[in-house]
A and B are shown apart, each in its own frame.
Chain A
Amino acid sequence: RKEVEQDPGPFNVPEGATVAFNCTYSNSASQSFFWYRQDCRKEPKLLMSVYSSGNEDGRFTAQLNRASQYISLLIRDSKLSDSATYLCVVKVGGTPLVFGKGTRLSVIA
Chain B
Amino acid sequence: NAGVMQNPRHLVRRRGQEARLRCSPMKGHSHVYWYRQLPEEGLKFMVYLQKENIIDESGMPKERFSAEFPKEGPSILRIQQVVRGDSAAYFCASSPRAGGSTDTQYFGPGTRLTVL
Contacts and interface: CB of A to CB of B under 8 A. Distances in A.
Contacts, number: 55
Contact of A96 (B45, B104, B112): B45
A44 B112 CA distance: 14
Interface of B: 33, 35, 41-45, 48, 56, 59, 89, 91, 93, 98-102, 104-110, 112
Interface residues of A, number: 22
B27 to A, nearest CB: 18
B109 A87 contact: no
Q: Which 8 A-B pairs have the closest CB atoms?
A: A96-B45, A101-B42, A43-B107, A94-B99, A99-B42, A99-B43, A31-B101, A32-B101
A99 B59 CA distance: 13
A97 interface: yes
